[in-house]
Amino acid sequence: MNRGHFEPRSLDLNTEMGVLIHNAEFTDEAVSEIRQHLPEIAYQLQLEDDELVWKDHQNEQIYTQEPNAGLLLRMGAWFAGILPIEHLL
């Protein structure tokens, strides 16, 4: 069983968080709100010509590099990508 960790350290390090709700009415309302506001707060990832792009629906802009990621973050992601750690994932 996979468990979510809701403490400050995990909130900073993990990008996946989950909530389990046993209330159909609340769940329907939450899903509706998320679908309505998601384009305002998140980028849409797509593949175009075998390249990953980020679409911003607020200003209809397309990014070919991860938005809001500075050089150090991009370098760290590149370096992590060449490490032989796939078997650990």
Instruction: Read off the DSSP letter of residue 49.
Output: T
The number of helix segments (H) and strand segments (E) in the chain equals: 3, 3
Tens of pLDDT, residue by residue over 26-81, are: 999 999 999 999 988 899 999 999 999 999 988 889 999 989 889 999 899 888 88
Q: What are the tens digits of pLDDT across the range 1-24?
A: 455 555 555 556 666 667 788 999
Spans of all domains in the chain: 8-88
